[in-house]
Amino acid sequence: MQLGVTTENNFGRLKQGALVQRLWQLQSAYSWSPNLVLSSFIQYDTESQNLGGNNRLRWTIRPGNDLFIVWNRGWRRLLTSRDDLALLPESEAVAVKLRWTFRR
C-alpha cells in the first residue's frame, strides 16, 4: 500500500489583477502481488474548479505482457455561489490496453 498527498500554491500578479492557484493531489497504489497493481490519482485545481480522477489496474500476465484497464472521470464545480460545493460530472472514459511483447 502506498499513499501520497501533494499541494502546490502559485501566486502571481498581472496587469489584470492578482492570481492565486492551488492544486491538491492524492495518489495511492495497492499491490496484491508484483503482477497485479491498482493505482489512483485524484487532483483538484482551484483556478479551473475541476476535480479529476484516474484509476488504473495493471495486470502483468508475464514479463513484457501487460493488461491495463484505465478509468478517468472529471467533475466541474458549479460557480453559483462561494459556499456551493456541488460538483457536476463533466467527462468519463474507460480504456483497455493490451501490451504484448514478441520475443525469439
Quick: pLDDT tens for 59-79: 999 998 999 999 999 988 766
Cα–Cα distance, 22 to 30 (Å, whole number):
27
Mean pLDDT (whole number) for 1-26: 89
Q: What confidence score (pLDDT) does residue 103 get?
A: 82
Q: Which of 81, 40, 33, 79 is nearest to 60 (CA)?
A: 33
Q: Which residues contact residue 93 at a Cβ distance below 8 angstroms, ignoring those fewer than 6 apart?
A: 70, 71, 72, 73
**What is the signed CA dihedral for 71, 28, 66, 52, rounded to 10 degrees?**
20
pLDDT band at residue 81 using 50, 70 and 90 as cut-offs = low
Least confident among 28-42, 50-64, 71-85: 71-85
Domain ranges of the chain: 23-99
